[in-house]
Amino acid sequence: MKRDPIQIIEAIAERQKIISSQKTLESTNTSLSSDPVQLDFWEDGKRAAPNAIFRSALFPAIHPKQKENRRFIKNGKLFSTGGLEVIFTGEQFDQSDLDVYLEILNIARPYPLGKPIKFSAYGLLKALGLPTGGSNHARLHLVLTRLRGGTIEITDHKKRYYGGLIEGGIRDEITFDYEITINPKFANLFGFGMWASIDKAQRQALGRDATAKALQAYYSTHVAPSPHKFETLAKIVGLTDTNHRKIKFVLIKAHDHLKDVGFLIDYEVTGDTIKAIMNPSQSQLKHIAKKSRNPRN
């Protein structure tokens, strides 16, 4: 059966239109997937991470003695707030691991994620305010391998990231220079309103007070924290002691330390709750001002 010439022409035109649309879609997908993502959101003197890192017990404030016998967690759901879900498999992290991780994210800030970043063990230890002797080089390497070995599944705003916090890399055994990469898909957790920054100088001033460091990270995801139960804060920072009075004492002491370094203006204790009164950063002040100008507030 012969087809009408006009039908043939129309069929060819329709086919060309489909092919053109497919090419446009492929081109768009390619450009989207190849767009470099950089973590250049925060200021110098700040360190930042996704809220899911700061609002969960992924980096608990474990006691130095607990570090010697770290728990190995298999597919464990960690305590978290704000609708987050954090599942972890690996050797338990701690707040000193978070210090290293924050510095690595800061080093990666000027570069597209997925591109290898280079740093020296000496330079990283200096940035952390730690001694640069051989034992600290070895300890730093253990932290890096622990960060690489842990597998996380984080769900925030219906986006789930699963993988490591850092990818593998190379270490020069003569210079102790490192080259590592960060999975570019990790950038999904840095979406709008899904990350927070902390003041590096204040964090270093907290020294080895892991509880105060964990609270600083958590409170930094808030503009004006509401009163929290001591029990809730204990879960957030990963305190495992079952003695309620001891936990309350440790948390109040940590709030005193946060006040001493200028992170908190003050705090108020009412029964089983504590309300932190923060010394807001410039970005938080802008957020407060913007919120006050909104006629709905």
Domain edges within the chain: 46-285
User: What value does the mean pLDDT take over residues 39-47?
Assistant: 87
Please give the helix or strand (H or E) that residue 73 lies within, else none: strand 72-78
The C-alpha atoms of residue 85 and residue 55 are separated, in whole angstroms, by: 10
Q: What is the pLDDT of residues 158-217, one digit of tens each?
A: 888 999 999 888 999 999 999 999 888 887 788 767 889 999 999 999 999 999 999 999
Is 80 exceeded by the pLDDT of residue 44? yes
Please give the structure tokens belonging to residue 144.
């890096």
Rounded Cα distance, 207 and 54, in Å: 18
Neighbours of 245 (CB within 10 A): 9
Give the closest residue to 279 by CA, choosing from 193, 220, 194.
Answer: 220
CB-hemisphere CA count at 13 Å for 73? 21
Judged against a pLDDT cut of 60, whether residue 293 lies above it is answered with no
Q: What pTM was estimated for this model as a whole?
A: 0.82
